[in-house]
Amino acid sequence: MIKIFIAFAIFAAIALFALMKGGDIDMGGEKHGMDAPHAEQAAPAAPAATPAAPAPAEPAK
């Protein structure tokens, strides 16, 4: 049983270390108010290329 607690403590320490090194991490959950950052609109996709012309059939010999 003590092994489980030791493993949990080690895992928690690694998780906290990773979160602290992660920089500006917002652990507040989903934001729905005016303070929520909005992603910029994505650029429209490029128009689809025209399909290639079929290759000419070889004459039968």
Q: What pLDDT shows up at residue 13?
A: 97
The answer to whether 12 and 6 are in contact (CB under 8 A) is: no
| pTM of the full structure | 0.41
Give residue-wise pLDDT tens across range 24-51: 777 777 877 776 566 566 666 666 667 7
